[in-house]
Amino acid sequence: MNMHRQYMQRCLDLAQLGAGSVSPNPMVGAVIVHDDKIIGEGYTSPYGGPHAEVNAVSQVLERYGDRAKKLLAESTFYVSLEPCAHYGKTPPCANMIADLKPSKVFVACLDPYAKVNGKGVEILRAAGIEVEIGLLEKEAIWLNRRFFTRIGQHRPYVILKWAQSKDGLIGQQDKQVWISNAASQQLTHRWRAEEDAILVGTHTAQLDNPSLTVRHWKGKNPIRVLIDRDLVISPEAKIFDEKADTIVFNAKKTDWQGHIKHIELENYGLYLPQSILYQLYLMDVQSIIIEGGAKTLQTFIDAGLWDEARVFQSEKELHRGVSAPKLNGRILEKRMISSDLLMVYVK
């Protein structure tokens, strides 16, 4: 791997550190190189805070004081996503970089957001800065697949997750069954901390009484989303405790009390997955994990509204129970999580 690719890979690694905290912004990393030495780097702060480029420049200013401006002008910048070109929660990063006039800027991929797309690069080039686009572009788009999906498809990025037995069963109708091992359960909690929301259907809420939190991992709890057509889930259920906000899609009422929001869907059952995802998109939910049950998962699969599926296969056999969902997807990854086989599918 040449040095340019190494520096851009460092941007991607830095960007990943923002997982779970920057949404609905994209994850971005920035690296500043002078004479083949990294003199500053950063990633996007939690939503509303400074962007990656600002944090990288600030690091140079803190380290080098009066020499910083000269060093920045002689440096090469690497950024995993096109610098923003509009005023939002923060000023445009493209303008800041243009003022510094570095010798060159490498951009992994353009920002799909209409207020930025190509405009950040235009600002840099208008300032006389050489810009190269496309270094590790595929990897950069994959990293921000949630952001690209929300902007391009006007819905959250959908991750399906379930555990199934060796004989292809996801559980039993009448009782809760633990299928995956402790390591897989901890990994699931890590995933929850990285996404904006988590969704279950009525049957899962009744049978498992899940809290849908990240109690086995450090991080924020996702927004909990419940599909409960007739509002049959008890107000005492764990999904309604104060550990996270909860949204209930139903056919009875629209109401907002504290951390619980009920949203009545007109023509409930007609295009249900589409209606739910569009409502969540309007609330700036950028990604969601759907954890069950089988009927809910299959509903989103049949509607073609999924992007990634993470399936744990246990060594256990249940012999009787509910069949796991059926999907047509391409296996992206297989690896062992202790005794469980994790299979990751994409469409």
What does the pLDDT look like over 102-159, one tens digit per residue?
Answer: 999 999 999 998 888 899 999 999 999 999 999 999 999 999 999 999 999 999 999 9
CB-CB contact of 198 with 212 (8 Å): yes
Binding residues for NADP(+): 163, 178, 204, 208
Distance from C-alpha of 50 to C-alpha of 61, rounded to nearest angstrom: 15
Binding residues for Zn(2+): 51, 84, 93
Do 3-150 and 155-346 show the same overall fold? Answer: no
Which string of DSSP letters, residue by residue, matches 262-304?
A: EEEPTTTTTTHHHHHHHHHHHTT--EEEEEE-HHHHHHHHHTT
Per-residue confidence (pLDDT) for residue 254, from 0 to 100: 97
Q: What is the mean pLDDT of residues 157-170?
A: 97
Per-residue confidence (pLDDT) for residue 117, from 0 to 100: 87
Residue 191, pLDDT above cutoff 60: yes
Q: What is the mean pLDDT of residues 187-203?
A: 97
3-state secondary structure of 102: coil
Cis check for the bond before 293: say yes or no (omega within 30 of 0). yes
The structural domains of the chain, with segments of one domain joined by +, span 3-150, 155-346
What does the pLDDT look like over 213-259, one tens digit per residue?
Answer: 999 899 999 999 999 999 999 999 999 999 999 999 999 999 999 99
For the chain, where are the alpha helices, taking DSSP H only? 3-16, 52-64, 68-73, 93-100, 119-126, 137-143, 145-153, 182-194, 202-208, 272-282, 294-302
Residue 54, pLDDT above cutoff 90: yes
Q: Which residues pair with 106 in a beta bridge?
A: 78, 132
Q: Confidence class of residue 23 from pLDDT cuts 50, 70 and 90?
A: very high
Percent of the chain with pLDDT over 70: 99
| Radius of gyration (C-alpha) of the chain in whole angstroms | 23
Neighbours of 240 (CB within 10 A): 20
Per-residue confidence (pLDDT) for residue 114, from 0 to 100: 81
- Residue 174's Cβ-count burial label (10 Å; 0-12, 13-18, 19+) is exposed
Binding residues: 51, 84, 93, 163, 178, 192, 204, 208, 212, 215, 291
Per-residue confidence (pLDDT) for residue 332, from 0 to 100: 97
Binding residues for substrate: 192, 212, 215, 291
Architecture of domain 3-150: 3-Layer(aba) Sandwich (3.40)
Mean pLDDT of the chain: 95
Which residues carry out catalysis? 53
**CATH superfamily to which 155-346 belongs:** Dihydrofolate Reductase, subunit A (3.40.430.10)
Distance from C-alpha of 138 to C-alpha of 141, rounded to nearest angstrom: 5
Residue 62, pLDDT above cutoff 80: yes
Per-residue confidence (pLDDT) for residue 176, from 0 to 100: 85
Residue 201, pLDDT above cutoff 60: yes
User: Residue 103 corresponds to which tokens in the numbers above?
Assistant: 């010798």
CB-CB contact of 246 with 257 (8 Å): no
Per-residue confidence (pLDDT) for residue 173, from 0 to 100: 80
310 membership: H or E segment, kind and range:
strand 308-313
Residue count of the chain, please give it: 347
Distance from C-alpha of 90 to C-alpha of 95, rounded to nearest angstrom: 12
Per-residue confidence (pLDDT) for residue 89, from 0 to 100: 67
Distance from C-alpha of 131 to C-alpha of 107, rounded to nearest angstrom: 7
CB-CB contact of 193 with 186 (8 Å): no
Per-residue confidence (pLDDT) for residue 157, from 0 to 100: 98
Per-residue confidence (pLDDT) for residue 1, from 0 to 100: 57
What does the pLDDT look like over 268-317, one tens digit per residue?
Answer: 989 999 999 999 999 999 999 999 899 999 999 999 999 999 999 999 99
Per-residue confidence (pLDDT) for residue 73, from 0 to 100: 97
**pTM summary value:** 0.93
